[in-house]
Chain A
Amino acid sequence: DAGVIQSPRHEVTEMGQEVTLRCKPISGHNSLFWYRQTMMRGLELLIYFNNNVPIDDSGMPEDRFSAKMPNASFSTLKIQPSEPRDSAVYFCASSPGQGGVNIQYFGAGTRLSVL
């Protein structure tokens, strides 16, 4: 199994530009999560999906952030327009999401730098 696959691994952009982060969950997993990690705030949940449906987006910091999951094997997190304070590592994770066993497996992350 290839695990959770995220792209790009690194992204450097200028303030005001649109940024799109991509995630392919583990095949057969029904739940997908987006997290952000910074030194100050640690790992924070942004949004998650069950069966491609967004369940809780209360962690999304602002309207500049949006996420979609058009099918079971792909999700995107978009920031438009980006700001320097969005600089962080963004992780995607997936879990089987069934039977009460919710072990989340993380991708390698996307390190975003907004200049």
Chain B
Amino acid sequence: EDKVVQSPLSLVVHEGDTVTLNCSYEVTNFRSLLWYKQEKKAPTFLFMLTSSGIEKKSGRLSSILDKKELFSILNITATQTGDSAVYLCAVEMYSGGGADGLTFGKGTHLIIQP
């Protein structure tokens, strides 16, 4: 069975700290791994990763994929209270055609304390 596992499930840190969120996967026909941020409403897209070792960066957020060890990490530096959210990891698999649905992990609930 295809699965995506995120850790930790919850994390509480102080403003200014750096956090690392983990995502491991066991799927057939891997195509891409995506990170989303969810704040009470719809998940919003952060990164899509398809190649190993290439870091994606957006401001204080960065992510990297290791296709050999089957995991990805999401780093957030100099955290702010606005970073408090659930961070979701999802994997897309090849199905032999166009787009495919995503398999999501349970998410990491990140709380940033002032």
A100 at the interface (CB under 8 A from B): yes
**Residue A115, interface by CB 8 Å:** no
B34, B42, B104, B107 interface centre (most CB from chain A within 10 Å): B42
Contacts of A55 in B (CB 8 A): 95, 97, 100
* Complexed CA–CA distance, A101 and B101 (Å): 12
Q: Which of A68-97 contact B (CB under 8 A)?
A: 91, 95-97
- Other-chain residue from A43, A45, A98, A105 in contact with B98 (beta carbon distance below 8 A): A98
CB distance from A41 to the nearest CB of B (A): 9
Chain A positions within 8 Å of B101 at CB level: 33, 45, 48, 56, 59
A104 contacts which of B102, B103, B105, B106 (Cβ < 8 Å)?
A: B102
* A: number of interface residues (CB 8 Å): 29
Residues of B near A33 (CB, < 8 A) are 101-102
Among B31, B44, B100, the residue within 8 A (CB) of A106 is: B44
User: What's the minimum C-beta distance from A109 to chain B, rounded to whole angstroms?
Assistant: 6
Known: A33-B101, A43-B88. A100 touches B31 (CB 8 A): yes
Report the tally of A-B residue pairs with Cβ distances under 8 A. 65
Bound form: Cα–Cα A4–B32 in Å: 22
Contact B98 A31 (CB under 8 A): yes
Chain B interface main SS type = strand
Assess the A43–B97 pair: CB atoms within 8 A: no
State whether the Cβ of A7 lies closer than 8 Å to any Cβ in chain B: no
B48–A103 touching, CB < 8 Å: yes
Q: Which residues of B sit under 8 angstroms from A18, Cβ to Cβ?
A: none
CB-contacts of A46-69 with B (<8 A): 48, 50-51, 55-56, 59
Please judge, given known A-B contacts A50-B97, A56-B95, A98-B98, whether A103 and B34 are in contact too, CB under 8 Å. Answer: yes
Between A and B, 6 residue pairs with Cβ closer than 8 Å are A30-B99, A43-B102, A56-B95, A98-B98, A102-B92, A109-B41
B residues in contact (CB < 8 Å) with A: 31-32, 34, 36, 41-45, 48, 88, 90, 92, 95, 97-107
Interface residues in chain A, defined as those with a beta carbon under 8 Å from any beta carbon in chain B: 4, 30-31, 33, 42-45, 48, 50-51, 55-56, 59, 91, 95-98, 100-109
